Every structure is written in structure tokens, then in C-alpha cells.
Structure 1
Amino acid sequence: MRADARRNRDRLLAATGEAFAEHGTDAALEDIARRAGVAIGTLYSHFPTRHALLEALLREQVEALGDKASQLLDHPSPLEALIEWAHAAIAHTATYRGLAASMMTGLGYENSELHAACQALIQAGERVLARAQQAGVVRPDVAASDLFALINAVAWAGEQVPSEQGARLLGYVIDGLRPMS
């Protein structure tokens, strides 16, 4: 990539982060281009869809969550490892208003640029989940895709309710993942 194209791409990603922080993932793409000081055509030449723009913006965070899952495989408590990873995944998904809904939509469309990012998160969670299931602290019928959906649901709900209530919701979800007595 040429140096000027790289600068434009970097400015677009920075402007996207600002716009999404202010207005959520539905921020106007024209506003993002304007903030970056480029034409809308330049935005589309780098990122042909909103999901492509979002995926590029979140790529490092998704990789960091995969790394965190790998590190948590050494945690002495498989359940605490799962809880810690779920908190990190929810924090990631709550980065921008509307991100949880965008990720669920991206997961549903294999051609979406977000699909690979969602799959990476599912695979990262699957490793931590499988360890908790092997230890007998999580129900064996919980699939990694269920965990992904629950994390997105808690993140979405967290956008709708006061933060203290949102934090409690994860506790309820974790309790529901435990084996039935």
C-alpha cells in the first residue's frame, strides 16, 4: 500500500473510532470520511461496507481476546477463567453502542467481513468453555456459539440498563451455565 493510502486508511480508522464512540456503530459514513479529511469514495475504496470498516477497527481487540483466552487456559480455576474471559468479551462488545447487534448480524452472514471476527471470538471462547466443561463446572450442553450469543445479549442489555444492573446480568448468565444439581 502506498504511503498516502496507508495514511488515509489510518485516518479513517481513527475517525471511525471517534464517530462510533460518539454515535454508535450506525454513525454516518459520510461523517467518518469528513472527520478523516477524505472523500466518501476514499472510505469505500478502503472499506467497501460498514462491516469491513468495523472489522478493521476491531481486529486488534479480537486478537487480544484470543490471546487472553490462551493465557486463561493456565488459570487455576476453569470457572474463574471463563468468567474473566466473558467479562473481557463483554467489555469488548460494549466498546461501541450497537456493536453487539452488528456482531450478531455479522455472524449470520458468511460473506460479511465481521463473520471471521465473530468466528475467532467463538473459537477463543470455546477453548475456555471446554476447559470449564471438562472440570464439570459448566453444563456440557453449552456450545461456544451459545456463549457468544449470551455475551452479545449481555452487552446489548448493558446498553439499555444502568451499568450496575448490566454487571449483574453476567452473574445470572454464569449461574445458568452451571450444571444442574
Structure 2
Amino acid sequence: MAKKAEIGQGAEPARGGRRADAQRNLDALLRAGVEVFAESGVDAPMREIAARAGVGVGTLYRHFPQRSDLIKAIIQREVDACASHAAALAARHDPEQALAAWMQKLVDLAATKRGLGPALHSGDAAYQALPDYVLGQLTPALESLLQAAAAAGAIRDDVDPREFLLATLRLAAPASEGNTAEARRMVALLCDGLRSGARGN
């Protein structure tokens, strides 16, 4: 599994020992970054993000010395949240429902990248560790959901988690361009295909 240190020190939203006000500033900056990049693109002025977060530009640069640090932190936080959501869904729903709901969370994750495409696909070395990080965090979460659904006889039991994750992320990609409804339909269709060959059918 990819370690957070691989993403870069400036991108790690460490919580241990952080004062409550500093953590609030960090959370506000990450939320503002998502919003501003989605609205204005990845080249939006950093001062606009600071203003949206209600902090000074100096505070932004203390947390994220480079624009790439902020972008990586946004992706990391959203990936971590998506991965941890798998267990919460499994605790509240039956295995098939939990899997279907989590796959739609992947659409939400793709939507987070709206406006970030030019940076993430620029070839900048700062982002080289991100794909491995994403797969390293999300594959185990998906594997646990697939195994539970297969054990319940709701889906087929020969699905490779990593391959299925990659396929789902590709279908979810239109959400990063604002086509969320299309992405949700495509991901739902892919999920429906898992029932073919299930023991319970």
C-alpha cells in the first residue's frame, strides 16, 4: 500500500498534535481548493483559494508551499475518505447494496478532480506517486466489498479487484468534466454485470 509520505510532505494533512485552529484552516483550504479549481480551473489564483477559505495567503503557503502540494492533498484526502467509507457502508447495508453504493462513491471521487485534469495529466513529476496511492488505498476497500457480496451469492466470485477498480474509475471519469449523471449510469450498469454468474442467480 502506498504510504502518505510518497505523496510529499506538503500534501500530508497530518493531524497528530495539530492545534484545532490550524486543523480548521487546513480543512477550509482543502474544501476551498476543491471548489475554486472546479469553478476556475487548476490555474486559479492561490489568493482566491485563501480568500474562499477565510485565511491569509501566508497561511495557505505554510500548509502548501507549491500548488502541486495542494492538489495532491486534495486528491489524497478524498481518496482516504472514499476508502474508509467502504467499511461504513458494509456496516449499514447488505453486501450487494454496500458494493453498489461504494461504486457510486467512486463517481463522487472522480467529480473531485473537476478542473484538475490539466495538472494531473501534465506529466509533472510531482504527481507521479498519485496513481499508485489511489490504487493502493482503494483496491483493498473494493476487495473487501467484492468478497462479502460474492460470499452472499449476490455477485460472481471471479472478479479481480484491481482490474474492476480500474474499469470503474474509467467509467466514472466523465464526472471530472461535469457529466456526473452519465458516469453514475455507466457505473451502475457495470455493477449490474457482476450479477451474471452469481451463485444466487
Give the shorter-chain TM-score range. Answer: 0.5 to 0.7
CA contact (8 A) 1:103 1:118 kept: no
User: How far apart, in 2, do the equivalents of 1:145 and 1:60 lie?
Assistant: 20
Q: Which amino acid aligns with 2:97?
A: E
Percent identical across equivalent pairs? 26
Paired residue for 1:145, among 147, 159, 162? Answer: 162
Mapping for residues 81-92 of structure 1, pairs under 5 Å:
81-92=98-109
Which residue matches 2:38?
A: 21
User: How far apart, in 2, do the equivalents of 1:144 and 1:110 lie?
Assistant: 24
CA contact (8 A) 2:112 2:176 kept: no
Q: Secondary structure at the match of 1:87?
A: helix
User: How far apart, in 1, do the equivalents of 2:117 and 2:191 lie?
Assistant: 18
Q: Does 1:121 align with 2:135?
A: no
Deviates more, 1:73-82 or 1:58-67: 58-67
Q: Does 1:70 align with 2:84?
A: no
Equivalences, count:
170
- TM-score computed with the length of structure 2 as normaliser: 0.61
Q: Does 1:46 align with 2:64?
A: yes
Q: Which has the higher contact order (CA 8 A, sep 6+)?
A: 2
Stretches of structure 1 lacking an aligned partner (at least 5 in a row)? none
CA deviations over 1:61-103 (Å, ceiling 9, x no partner): 3333233211233345211110011112211221232568988
Stretches of structure 2 lacking an aligned partner (at least 5 in a row)? 1-16, 51-55
Question: CA RMSD of the aligned region, Å?
Answer: 4.0
Q: Which amino acid aligns with 1:28?
A: D
Q: Which amino acid aligns with 2:35?
A: E
